[in-house]
Chain A
Amino acid sequence: MTSIHPLQYLDPEGNKTQDLPNTCTSDWLLRCYHFMVLSRQFDTKAIALQRTGQLGTYASLLGSEAIDVPTALAMQKNDVLVPYYRNHACQITRGVPLEEVLLYWGGDERGNAAEKMQQDFPNAVPIATQSLHACGVASAFKIRNQKRAAVTLIGDGGTSKGDFMEALNVAGVWQLPVVFIINNNQWAISVPRHIQSAAAQLADKGLAAGIPSMQVDGNDPIAMQQAVQQALNRAYEGKGATLIEAISYRLSDHTTADDATRYRPSDELKVAWEKEPLKRLRNYLVSQQLWDESKEQALHEKISTLVQTAADKYVAMPPQPVSSMFDYLYFEPTEQLQEQRDWAEVRAMTGGSHYQEGESS
C-alpha cells in the first residue's frame, strides 16, 4: 500500500505542517493564488451564464483549484495536457483565453481549437478514455527522444474504468513519460467514493502496474506543486510514469444539470468547505505578510473585469456557419459530404426549413 499520510505542507487553516520546499517562492505563491481566484471567479460567471440560458450544461471546477493550477504551473509549455471535463482551471492557467473556454461550454467546437491549446487535447467527455491518449502522446515523446511529458487528469469514478487500468499498465511496462492525476473529489455524480472501489486508496491501483503512486492533499497547492514537479522530473529523466491521487472535495454539483442535495448530506459539504483550497493559501499568504485585505480587494476587482470582458466577448461571438459541420470531418470532404453541405446551406438560408435569424450560413 501507498503511504497513509497524504503529502501536505499546509493544514486547512493555512499553517505549515512541515518546512516548505525552496521552489515555493513568494512569486510562485502569489501567481498560484492569482490563478486560483481567477478560476473560481470564472466558475461563478460560467454558472451565472448557464442559469440565464447563455451557456450549455457546465461542469463546475469548484474545489479543484489547488489541483489544476499548480499542475499547470509545473508543466512546461510544450508538455501536453490531456484533460477530462473538469480541468478548465488547468486550461486557463496554461493560457487558454477565458472566452475560448466559455465558447466550448457554449456548445461551439471552436472552443477546442484555441491556438493557446497548442497540442493539448480537448476535454474528454467519455470517462477515462483520455488516460490512453496521454499514453500515446507519451509514447510519441519516448519514440522521438523528446524531454516532454503528458499530464492527464481523471475523476475518482473514472478509475473504475478499464481504460484507466489499461493506461496504467502500459505506462508502467513501457516506462512512459506520463503523469496521472486522480482528482478524488469523493463523488462520481451521486456515487460516493466508498462504493466506487474497495481499494483502500485509489493510488494503490498504480502499484499493481509498477508505477510509483502517492496520495496528496488536493486542497494544498504546495503539496500538489511538489508532487507534480517530482513526477514531471521523473518523466523528463526517462524514469517513467507516476500516479498522484489528489484528495479533494467536489464543492459543487456534478454539473449544472445535477442537484447534489438529492444525494449528498449537507453537513458533509459544510465540513468540506472548511478545508477548501483558496482560504488555505490566502491564510498562509497573510501569515507571511504577502497578502492583506486591500490586495485581496484589488485582485478581485481586476479579475472581475477580466472575467466580464471575456464573458462579453463570448456572448458576442456569432455561431459558426452551418458548413463547418462538414468541413472538418475529414481533411477533404467526401463527395457525399459536399452534397449534404449544399443541402444544409440551402436549408439555412432565408426562407429555408432551418433558417434562424442572426445566423450566417
Chain B
Amino acid sequence: MKHNVCLLEAVNLALASEMRRDEEIITLGEDIGVNGGVFRATDNLRDEFGVKRVMDTPLAETMIAGLSIGMASQGLKPIAEIQFMGFIFPALEQIICHAARIRNRTRGRLSCPLVIRAPFGGGIHAPEHHSESTEALLAHIPGLKVVIPSSPARAYGLLLAAIRDPDPVIFLEPKRIYRSQQQEIDDNAIALPIGRCFTLKEGSDITLVSWGAMISETLAAAEALADSNIKCEVIDVASVNPLDMETILSSVKKTGRLVIIHEAARSGGVGADISASVAENALLDLQAPIARVTGYDTIMPYFRLENHYLPNSQDIIDAVTQTMEFV
C-alpha cells in the first residue's frame, strides 16, 4: 500500500508494519503509549498492539536501556525511544558496557537485538539540551551500529533493517526534517541495507558526503552549484557505524575532490574519520585538500544563536567553490 508520508510518519509506518509481522517486538519509552510520543512517532501503536507491547515506562533513561537489554537477552526485540538525544547520557553506561558488549563477552551465548531510537539535531528552536548531535560518541563504540535516515523512504527502510538486525542499533532521527519532506512510500516490508551509503545524486566534479538533516542543505547546495556547471555527487552516509568507505572512496577516486558536511562539532566528528580514511586510501587521487563544513567545537547554543551554529547551503557552496578553485 502506498502512503504519502513525512519522515516522522515513515517511522510510525515502519514500526506498525514490523510489529504486525513480528510479535516479539516491544516498544517502550517515556510518553510513547497514550500520547504516541512527544513527536507522535508511536501514534496509535498502543491502540493497535496493546499495553503489553507498547509500554509507557517510568521516567528513567538508564532503566529504559537496561530493561531493553534484559528483554533482548530473552529473544524479545525491544525498540526503546529516548525522547531526545540530549537525554541519552544516563543510558550510556548500559548501552556501552552491556548492549554493545554482551554478544562478545558471552562469545555469542547471549545477544542484544535492540533498537534505541532518538530524535537528534538542532533547528527547531527547542529548549536547552534538546538539539545536540552526538552521533560520533556512539559511532566510536565497538559493538553498536549507528544509523541516521535523511528521507521518509530511508527512514522506513532503515528502521525495518534496524529492527531485524541481530545486534544493537542506535537509530537517530533528524527531527529538523521530521515533517519537511513528503514522499510516497510503499509499505512493502522491504528493508534497506545498514552499512551502505546512498548516492543521492551523481556528479563528476566533487563528492559531497553528509547525513541527517544536513542532507537537505547539501542537496540544495548541489542544485545551486549545478547552475554554475559544477557537478556534485551527493552521498548520504546513512550509517555512521559501520561506515561504508568503499562507496565514498570510489566516488572520490572519480571526482578527486571531497567536502564532508555534518551538523555535529568538528573535532573528533565522524567527518574526521572519513577524512582520515580518504587520506589513507586515496591521497593521490585527490586534486584538492579535503574540506569539512561542520558545527563549531562549542556547546550547541540555545536557540537564538542556533542558526549561527548550524551549517547551511551557502557554507557548503563556499567550501565547494574553494575546493574547485584550488590549484
Residues in A lying within 8 Å of B, measured CB to CB: 80, 82, 109-110, 112-114, 117, 119, 121-122, 124-126, 129, 131-141, 143, 150, 162-163, 166-167, 169-170, 173, 324, 328-331, 334-336
Contacts and interface: CB of A to CB of B under 8 A. Distances in A.
Contacts of B246: 335
A136 B70 contact: yes
Contacts of A137: 70-71, 73-74
B110 A132 contact: no
A136 B26 CA distance: 11
A225 B110 CA distance: 29
B142 interface: yes
B107 A113 contact: yes
B66 A140 contact: no
A328 B142 CA distance: 11
Interface stretch (B92-100, B180-188, B262-270, B306-314): B92-100
Interface string B69-81: 1111111101000
Given A129-B93, A166-B58, A166-B60, A136 B66 contact: yes
Interface string B49-80: 00011000110101101111111111110100
Given A112-B107, A119-B110, A162-B62, A331 B70 contact: no
B63 to A, nearest CB: 4
Given A162-B90, A330-B103, 11 more contacts: A124-B98, A129-B94, A132-B66, A136-B68, A136-B70, A137-B74, A140-B76, A150-B70, A166-B63, A328-B104, A330-B145
Contacts of B97: 125-126, 129
A127 to B, nearest CB: 10
Interface of A is mostly: helix
Nearest to B74: A140
16 contacts: A113-B108, A122-B105, A126-B93, A132-B62, A132-B69, A133-B98, A134-B70, A135-B66, A136-B78, A143-B71, A166-B60, A166-B63, A167-B66, A328-B108, A329-B142, A331-B165
B322 to A, nearest CB: 31
B51 to A, nearest CB: 10
Contacts of B107: 109-110, 112-113, 324, 328
B111 A132 contact: no
Nearest to A330: B167
Nearest to A132: B66
Closest 8 CB pairs of A and B: A136-B70, A132-B66, A140-B74, A113-B107, A166-B63, A334-B242, A331-B166, A136-B67
B29 interface: no
B23 to A, nearest CB: 10
B109 interface: yes
Contacts of A119: 73-74, 110
A332 to B, nearest CB: 8
Contacts of A162: 60, 62, 90
Given A122-B106, A163-B62, A140 B70 contact: yes
Interface of B: 26, 52-53, 57-58, 60, 62-63, 65-76, 78, 90, 93-94, 97-98, 102-111, 142-143, 145, 165-167, 195, 242-243, 245-246
Contact of A132 (B52, B94, B143): B94
A246 B162 CA distance: 42
A131 B63 CA distance: 9
Of B67, B94, B166, B195, most buried by chain A (CB within 10 Å of CB) is B67
Given A129-B93, A163-B66, A170-B58, A136 B105 contact: no
B250 to A, nearest CB: 14
Of B76, B94, B104, B165, most buried by chain A (CB within 10 Å of CB) is B104
Contacts of B245: 336
A126 B65 CA distance: 15
A329 B105 CA distance: 8
Contact of B66 (A117, A129, A324, A330): A129
Contacts of A80: 74
B143 A330 contact: yes
A158 to B, nearest CB: 13
B73 A121 contact: yes
B46 to A, nearest CB: 15
Of B63, B73, B105, B143, most buried by chain A (CB within 10 Å of CB) is B63
A90 B106 CA distance: 18
B66 to A, nearest CB: 3
A109 B104 contact: yes
Contacts of A138: 70
A325 to B, nearest CB: 8
A327 to B, nearest CB: 8
Contact of A331 (B57, B72, B103, B243): B103
Contacts of B90: 162
Contacts of B70: 82, 132-140, 150
A135 B102 CA distance: 17
A96 to B, nearest CB: 12
Nearest to A117: B109
Contacts of A331: 103, 111, 165-167
Contacts of A122: 102, 105-106, 110
Given A136-B68, A143-B26, A143-B52, A109 B62 contact: no
A137 B74 CA distance: 6
Nearest to A104: B105
Contacts of B52: 143
Contacts of B111: 331
Nearest to B78: A136
Contacts of A117: 106, 109
